[in-house]
């Protein structure tokens, strides 16, 4: 029979990390553990109990599922030194919890004999998985949900680095609100994002001129909020032949950012590799898949993919300690 167990283990800093292990029946065990890594500052349950819903689908198929709190979060020991939330997010996106993830795999291997892992999680959790996979080959594939390509600039800066796709979406949204009396009241009371409104309109009015390139100099890349750790890690993992699947909500800005700030800048690298990764979009879904049908759509994509890329391994060796 499958089992759900409260677990704890030490990390390399000496803090004790607490979590939940979903263990399949011995007769169905694949010898593969899906790591559902915590998103941002949220704990091991995930928004709207998302991680529990994922585990419920995966365990009967023979997957171990481990979800735990990183140090300084949830029930785990340790404290965060940052005073601003945006700084916590950026620390996560720079790899703060890579060591915790490696410690979790070491513990699973020693205690349960599991040597094969899937790196997964929502948002910062999937990025932690990707950055860990760059260092540790035991993560054999990446199941990313809402994978962030950029650093977080805080709400006060969100309009500065909007992609073209985001600007078009913002512009359409404001045009639809023209007939809404409440929206006009918000506009007149000074509660609208005036800079973003103007930026979206100004972008649409710009003439589409083709400017010939200047052979003498390379065009400068303007500074933006792209995470400098993202592209090297993504290229390293995909380039090693490990499968990657990315799932985004249709209303998630992170899909626009991945397209414009990674794919458009790595077109040659992508062309040289036949299908180095797969991207799926869930229409109308938000970033955290807060509605049940969106979770079902995600699982209908993710589960067959995982089963295809994670065959049943040899029997699990290693006893619990």
Q: How large is the angle between the packed helices 230-239 and 124-135, nearest 10 degrees?
A: 60
Number of structural domains (the chain) is 2
- Is 30 contained in some domain? yes
- Is 75 contained in some domain? yes
Q: Does 133 lie in the same domain as 264?
A: yes
Q: Does 56 lie in the same domain as 28?
A: yes
Q: Does 98 lie in the same domain as 200?
A: no
What confidence score (pLDDT) does residue 1 get? 82
- Contact (Cβ atoms closer than 8 angstroms) between residue 257 and residue 249: no
Rounded CA-CA distance 253/231 in Å is 18
What confidence score (pLDDT) does residue 210 get? 44
CA distances from 287 to 70, 100, 254, 268, 295 (A): 21, 25, 8, 29, 11
- Is 217 contained in some domain? no
Strands (E), the chain: 3-10, 16-23, 32-37, 64-68, 116-122, 139-145, 244-249, 278-282
Q: Does 236 lie in the same domain as 184?
A: no
Other Cβ atoms within 10 Å of 71 Cβ, number: 22
Q: Does 148 lie in the same domain as 165?
A: no
- Contact (Cβ atoms closer than 8 angstroms) between residue 57 and residue 120: no
Q: Does 251 lie in the same domain as 131?
A: yes
Helix (H, G, I), strand (E, B) or coil at 271: helix
The arithmetic mean of pLDDT across residues 283-300, rounded, is 97
Residue from 41, 39, 71 nearest 54 by CA: 39
Q: Does 87 lie in the same domain as 107?
A: yes
Q: Does 58 lie in the same domain as 199?
A: no
Rounded CA-CA distance 173/250 in Å is 15
The arithmetic mean of pLDDT across residues 268-288, rounded, is 93
- Is 314 contained in some domain? no
- Is 259 contained in some domain? yes
Other Cβ atoms within 10 Å of 302 Cβ, number: 21
- Is 84 contained in some domain? yes
Q: Does 166 lie in the same domain as 148?
A: no
Q: Does 38 lie in the same domain as 184?
A: no
- Is 22 contained in some domain? yes
Output the CA angle 226-231-237, nearest 5 degrees: 150
**What's the mean per-residue pLDDT of the chain?**
85
39-55 pLDDT, tens digit each: 988 889 999 999 999 99
169-218 pLDDT, tens digit each: 555 655 665 666 565 565 566 555 555 454 445 445 555 444 344 444 44
- Is 59 contained in some domain? yes
Tell me which residue range forms the domain holding 62: 3-153+225-309
Q: What is the CATH number of the domain that holds 9?
A: 3.40.50.1820
């Amino acid at each position: 029979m499958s089992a759900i167990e409260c677990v704890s283990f030490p990390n390399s800093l000496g803090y004790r990390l607490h979590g939940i292990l979903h263990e399949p029946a011995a007769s169905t065990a694949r010898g593969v553990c899906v790591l559902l890594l915590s998103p941002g500052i949220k704990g091991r349950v995930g928004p709207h109990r998302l991680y529990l819903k994922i585990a419920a689908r995966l365990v009967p198929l023979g997957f171990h599922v481990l979800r735990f709190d990183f140090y300084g979060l949830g029930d785990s020991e340790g404290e965060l030194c940052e005073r601003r939330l945006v700084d916590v997010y950026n620390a996560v996106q720079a790899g703060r919890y890579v060591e915790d993830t490696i410690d979790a795999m070491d513990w699973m291997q020693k205690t349960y004999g599991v040597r094969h892992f899937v790196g997964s999680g929502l948002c910062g959790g999937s990025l932690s998985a990707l950055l860990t996979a760059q260092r540790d080959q035991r993560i054999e594939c990446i199941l990313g949900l809402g994978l962030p390509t950029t650093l977080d600039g805080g709400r006060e800066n969100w309009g500065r680095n909007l992609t073209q796709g985001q600007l078009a979406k913002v512009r359409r949204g404001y045009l639809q609100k023209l007939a809404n009396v409440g929206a006009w009241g918000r506009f007149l009371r000074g509660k609208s994002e005036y800079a973003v409104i103007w930026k979206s309109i100004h972008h649409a009015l710009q003439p589409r001129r083709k400017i010939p390139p200047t052979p003498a100099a390379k065009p400068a890349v303007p500074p933006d909020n792209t995470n400098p750790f993202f592209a090297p890690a993504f290229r390293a993992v995909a380039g090693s032949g490990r499968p990657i699947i990315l799932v985004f909500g249709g209303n998630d800005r992170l899909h626009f950012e991945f397209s414009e700030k990674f794919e458009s800048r790595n077109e040659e690298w992508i062309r040289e590799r036949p299908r180095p990764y797969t991207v799926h979009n869930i229409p109308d879904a938000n970033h955290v898949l807060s509605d049940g049908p969106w979770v079902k759509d995600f699982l209908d994509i993710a589960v067959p993919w995982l089963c295809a890329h994670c065959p049943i391994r040899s029997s699990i060796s290693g006893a619990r300690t």
